[in-house]
Structure 1
Amino acid sequence: MTALRNLLTDVDGVAVGHATDLDLGSGVTAIVFDEPAAASGSVFGGAPGGRDTELLDPAKTVEKVDAFVLSGGSAFGLDAAGGVQAGLREIGRGLQVGTARVPIVPQAILMDLLNGGNKDWGLHSPYRDMGYTAFKAATDGAFELGTVGAGTGATTASCKGGLGSASARASSGHVVAAIVAVNALGSPTIGDGPHFWAAPFEVDGEFGGLGMPHGFGENDTVMRLKGVNLTATTIAVVATDAKLTKAQAHRLSVLGHAGLARAILPAHLSADGDTVFVAATGRKPLSDDAQFMELCHLATIVTARAVARGVFEARRLPVSGSQATWHERFHPGGIADPFAM
């Protein structure tokens, strides 16, 4: 059995590509499927931004997608899906509608316009071109985490956010994995210390191996926000090689949100736009509902782990006043930061 790399691309039929602009302080991540994948999703945040998210409702007609896009840029970032569509159209992909092909590319965006990067891009935003770049960069192998792609400009209440990923194998052999751009209004860490809320789920020290604190005081659960007038949003994709219906994919997205709630306190606020997409490549059938429920369980866990990994792997943006990283706050000197001012 092939060893897992702890990435979304551990799921057969999935490729991931980034476009990163450190000067802009933003980026795009494209998740591209070798073949159209059964898909759904759900939005639990109060201030979401998305494109073609409504078609993911199990009651809607379209069953499969060609790609998902996660992007910074707030509403301007919605241009990124057009760039990914252009790349898919270029290679003949898309839903057949009469004599036309229409690539199906739902997207979610996060708010990173106020992170100090240069957003003076002129008449048209750069996100369509970044979407195309991310599509062209997509690989089914290893990809970068942290301050890359959709996680480039991400922040949280306690330290720099970023792009994380994690994977797991079910007892049935099915693989479930998540990729998350962590731009939370709340905090991924406990109190004023370095411990992650996702610590109970950590595997092989993937985000520092600190475990949970020895005890909890009142200060540890006080609400911490990065601001009350800023929209934020954590956006994610959960993928599996199992064969799922659209309704099952929707249920998996709900369990992905459970993972966000276990890794970020608080999650799903009125100024968050927390969104989880799900795709099933269908390479391996399920034999019974017990196998599906284990996938749901693992979707929660890999999403929580991916949140913590995104923060752990993040590096400071090379702009004045940018947010300090987890390593700078809690482990100075532990990992060299190539972007540090």
Structure 2
Amino acid sequence: MTFNSITDIPGLRVGHATDVARGTGTTAIVFDRPATCAVDVRGGAPGSRDTELLRPDKTVQTVDAVVLSGGSAFGLDACGGVSAWLAENGRGFAIGSMLVPIVPGAIVFDLLSGGDKAWGRFSPYRDLGYQAAAAATADPVPLGTVGAGTGATTADLKGGVGSASAVSASGHRVGAIVIVNAVGSATIGASGHFWAATDEVGGEFGGRGLPSPWPADAHALKLKGARPENTTIALVVTDAVLDKGQATHLAVMAQDGLGRAIRPIHTPLDGDTVFAAATGVVPVADYARDMAAIGFTAASVLARACARAVYEADALPFPGALPSWRQIHGGR
């Protein structure tokens, strides 16, 4: 049985830590054994940890976990909390007698989304990272206003956590998890129809398809604002056997899913970052054809995950909070 979740890929678990009072949170993706990982960074304002480590020419070939967090630069502390949990559980890159957990991560800006951000000298993100790792399970990923998606927003609607999965034409499983906190919009004009409608499977984000007639405001530019309060971050995972160079190409292909789901994307006010990981279970028989199929599927599941993030989100309980899709466009 599959659940249309990144956890349909065997060998990984996902955990959220949510702090609604502060309007923020953290999401940890923990691999059961080290996974090959790469990254593709676009947009003008990224925030990340250890992305340079993921380049194909760097020594370390695998990671133990990937962290997606709210909190802007403060949220990078979440990686330390995940590392602490991994170290307690005997995980990490062996250097002599020491084990050093390899935990890259990326953050979104949610500091102005409401909630109590007066946390004193130290931010809560190290503890949130630990809690997220400790809570990680192979169950379907909770979506919407949870974990790193708690404070996420788009130009006009509440954002959040989304996930989706599929099997590629090559027979490889592919899944995605995303935090949609974009400067742009996931919906077409004021219609409530999703840009990702052509990729939708089984009414997973309302089944409305594309609007007809096409709205007059469909191509009007919708922006959250003129400050760097944005960024969409994601992880795509396949069960294929890939090296870091091949995983890098997968991340590049997967980025197309953001372009299909959010407009505009990769602006100077976004720091859009897509990690790609391979658990290395199913061999690749014909690299060129199989990689085309895996990358094609990765872009599709990421586009679907973006729409699901907005579709499943609930508005935060703060004055002036952006409304959810459901509040404006009807029930699920």
Give deviations 1:305-325, integer Å, cap 9, x for gaps.
000000000001112211100
| Aligned residues with identical type, % of pairs | 57
In 1, the alpha carbon distance for the partners of 2:149 and 2:35 equals 24
- Are 1:144 and 2:142 an aligned pair? yes
In 2, the alpha carbon distance for the partners of 1:166 and 1:123 equals 38
Give deviations 1:57-92, integer Å, cap 9, x for gaps.
112221100000000000000000000000000011
In 1, the alpha carbon distance for the partners of 2:213 and 2:109 equals 34
In 2, the alpha carbon distance for the partners of 1:97 and 1:17 equals 28
In 1, the alpha carbon distance for the partners of 2:54 and 2:229 equals 23
1:268 alignment partner in structure 2: 266
In 1, the alpha carbon distance for the partners of 2:240 and 2:228 equals 38
* Count of matched residue pairs: 331
- Preserved contact between residue 16 and residue 147 of structure 2 (Cα < 8 Å): yes
Shift of 1:158: 1.9
In 2, the alpha carbon distance for the partners of 1:21 and 1:85 equals 20
- Preserved contact between residue 30 and residue 67 of structure 1 (Cα < 8 Å): yes
- Preserved contact between residue 141 and residue 163 of structure 2 (Cα < 8 Å): no
TM-score (norm 2): 0.98
The residue type paired with residue 313 of structure 1 is E
Shift of 1:172: 3.0
In 1, the alpha carbon distance for the partners of 2:169 and 2:263 equals 30
In 1, the alpha carbon distance for the partners of 2:56 and 2:212 equals 44
TM-score (norm 1): 0.95
Q: How does 1:168-317 map to 2 (within 5 A)?
A: 168-289=166-287, 290-317=289-316
Shift of 1:168: 0.3
Give deviations 1:173-207, integer Å, cap 9, x for gaps.
21000000000000000011100000000000000
- Preserved contact between residue 231 and residue 273 of structure 1 (Cα < 8 Å): no
2:82 alignment partner in structure 1: 84
Give deviations 1:102-142, integer Å, cap 9, x for gaps.
00000000000001111011110000000000000000122
- Preserved contact between residue 164 and residue 180 of structure 1 (Cα < 8 Å): yes
**Residue 155 of structure 1 aligns to a residue in which SS?**
coil
In 2, the alpha carbon distance for the partners of 1:321 and 1:158 equals 12
Shift of 1:216: 3.0
In 1, the alpha carbon distance for the partners of 2:311 and 2:227 equals 26
Shift of 1:237: 0.3
- Preserved contact between residue 164 and residue 308 of structure 1 (Cα < 8 Å): yes
In 2, the alpha carbon distance for the partners of 1:45 and 1:58 equals 21
Shift of 1:14: 0.9
Which sections of structure 2, spanning at least 5 residues, go unmatched? Answer: none
1:9 alignment partner in structure 2: 7
Shift of 1:217: 4.8
In 2, the alpha carbon distance for the partners of 1:123 and 1:169 equals 46
Give deviations 1:220-268, integer Å, cap 9, x for gaps.
1111001012330000000011110111100111111110011000000
**Residue 77 of structure 1 aligns to a residue in which SS?**
helix
**Alignment partner of 1:103 out of 101, 104, 111:** 101
- Preserved contact between residue 6 and residue 141 of structure 2 (Cα < 8 Å): no
Shift of 1:218: 4.8
- Preserved contact between residue 19 and residue 131 of structure 1 (Cα < 8 Å): yes
In 2, the alpha carbon distance for the partners of 1:174 and 1:319 equals 43
Q: CA RMSD in A?
A: 0.9
**Residue 198 of structure 1 aligns to a residue in which SS?**
helix
2:121 alignment partner in structure 1: 123
In 2, the alpha carbon distance for the partners of 1:217 and 1:128 equals 45
**Residue 53 of structure 2 aligns to a residue in which SS?**
helix
The residue type paired with residue 323 of structure 1 is L
